[in-house]
Amino acid sequence: MSKQDEICRCGGELERVFLEGFDFSPYIKSGFGIRFEAFPVLRCQECAGETVASVDIETGLKVVAATLIESDDRLGPAAAKTIRRIAGLTQQALADRLGASRETVANWERTSSNKFISPQYDYMLRGVVATELLGSEPRSEDEVQAHQRLQKAALKSSKAAHTTEEFFAPETTQIIKLAG
């Protein structure tokens, strides 16, 4: 953080603190509930205002993606949409990479749809997203850990891409801890 970033709008100094039970859902915007056990924020020592640094949001997004990709459960609509968005892919871009149509991807993400992502596409989606997120250099220790998790998830995804086992993921709130 630069010296300018360490000063609040009110002129007070910002200090890094961890909030317990931090609701990360607004940063995802896909209807998937995410709550961190502890999450870093910057709190002003003068006005007590709080803000989240962009690097922490980016790291949080990678941790969320890694957690969803590592899951043994098949991705449900909200989880599939969440990891696609975190990777910065449009439905069309993802469809092109998977050899599917945009409408197929849209069907996976439609929560009212009875069509679930096939096990093969589930694993391919995980691999594409993990690979996409690994393209940037980690900027913090938390991000290094997220990258390591994504690497393991990508490897697991590539090994399991040929399975036909069926299982479904409940759309529940994930609780994740971001190390301090």
Q: What is the CATH number of domain 4-176?
A: 1.10.260.40
Boundaries of every domain in the chain: 4-176
Task: List, as own/partner pairs, every contact residues 165-170 make where C-beta atoms lie below 8 angstroms and the sequence separation is at least 24, other chains included.
Answer: 165/119, 166/74, 166/119, 167/72, 167/73, 167/74, 168/73, 168/74, 168/76, 168/116, 169/71, 169/73, 169/74, 169/75, 169/76, 169/79, 170/73, 170/76
The pLDDT of residue 77 is above 60: yes
The pLDDT of residue 165 is above 60: no
Considering the entire predicted model, what is its pTM? 0.74
Q: What is the pLDDT of residue 152?
A: 75
Between residues 134 and 86, the one the model is more confident about: 86
Between residues 112 and 58, the one the model is more confident about: 58
The tens digit of pLDDT for each residue in 87-133 reads 999 999 999 999 999 999 998 888 666 666 888 899 899 989 988 88
Q: Which of 38-52, 59-73, 146-160 has the lowest mean pLDDT?
A: 146-160
**Residues above pLDDT 70, as percent of the chain:** 77
